[in-house]
């Protein structure tokens, strides 16, 4: 499956999450820190954005552009 198809598949899956499930508690990590489904989705989006920025910065350094 191509990367774009995987992204589309994941985005489609997000639309199937019922609204009432978004605020269900979810423990995170070994310490089981408290979060919710929507909190984890938001964190995943933020985390991905951070990595995209790192990739762009690395490419600029490699290419010698600003």
Residue 63 has a pLDDT of 94
Q: Is there a contact between 38 and 22 (Cβ–Cβ < 8 Å)?
A: yes
Contact between 5 and 19 (Cβ < 8 Å): no
Residue 1, pLDDT above cutoff 80: no
Rounded to whole angstroms, the Cα distance separating 52 from 46 reads: 10
Rounded CA separation 62/39 (Å): 35
pLDDT band of residue 53 (cuts 50, 70, 90) is very high
Span 10-52, pLDDT tens digits: 999 999 999 999 999 999 999 999 999 999 999 999 999 999 9
The pLDDT value given to residue 65: 80
pTM of whole model > 0.85?
A: no
């Amino acid at each position: 499956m191509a990367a774009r198809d995987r992204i589309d598949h994941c985005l489609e899956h997000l639309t199937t999450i019922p609204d009432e499930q978004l605020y269900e508690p979810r423990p995170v990590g070994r310490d089981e820190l408290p979060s919710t489904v929507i909190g984890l989705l938001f964190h995943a989006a933020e985390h991905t954005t951070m990595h995209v920025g790192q990739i762009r910065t690395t490419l600029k350094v490699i290419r010698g552009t600003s």
